[in-house]
Amino acid sequence: MTRSSRASTFRWLAAWAVLLACLGGLVFAAATARLFLWPPTDAPVHVDAIVATGGDPGELRSAKAISLAEAGYAPVVVISRGGNIAVPCPRAGHGIQVICFRANPLNTRGEMEFAAKVAARHHWTSLMIVPGRDQATRARLLFRRCSDIHLVVVPVSGYAVNYLHSIAYAWASLAKAFVVNTSC
């Protein structure tokens, strides 16, 4: 093989490598956008209970869950208190029952396991889950492993986050849900 043909082959391989890297980056960016930035969501509908996942700054998820209940979507709100023991269980309007809990394990999987158990205990047939936007895909997946009742996912967004950290955490957590925690 001559020097010029080796150089030509190298340039051809380098061009293909760059093209494949660009395509991989685009697929990764599109998957990130679909799974964590703009995940599949549902419109609020009447359900037996609304479950708010915990751990968000400003307690926006529990506030949204309570406002949805007060708007008539459910008579019960189940709120994960996350890891902050000092945060009290919020109050809701007249006629709305609020159940607060601390998940074990203290993560989305533990929250979805608790939600499935409390739904089975109360014979609920439908739930609305209010997770963070970057948590919605994982919450839906984990809950589906624990229960087959009708599920509506209405994520909340709006709190300031470090997007690079949030996306890295979301990918790692989703991978863990697929590889390590494969059951309810």
Residue boundaries of the structural domains of the chain: 1-38, 49-179
Fold classified for 49-179: Rossmann fold (3.40.50)
Q: Are 132 and 52 in contact (CB under 8 A)?
A: no
Tokens 């020097």 sit on residue: 3
* pLDDT tens digits in sequence order for the chain, 184 residues long: 676 777 678 788 888 988 898 999 999 999 988 888 889 999 999 999 999 998 777 789 999 999 999 999 999 999 998 877 777 888 888 899 999 999 988 899 999 999 999 999 999 999 999 999 889 999 999 999 989 999 999 999 766 567 778 889 899 999 999 888 788 8
Distance CA 132, CA 44 (A): 15
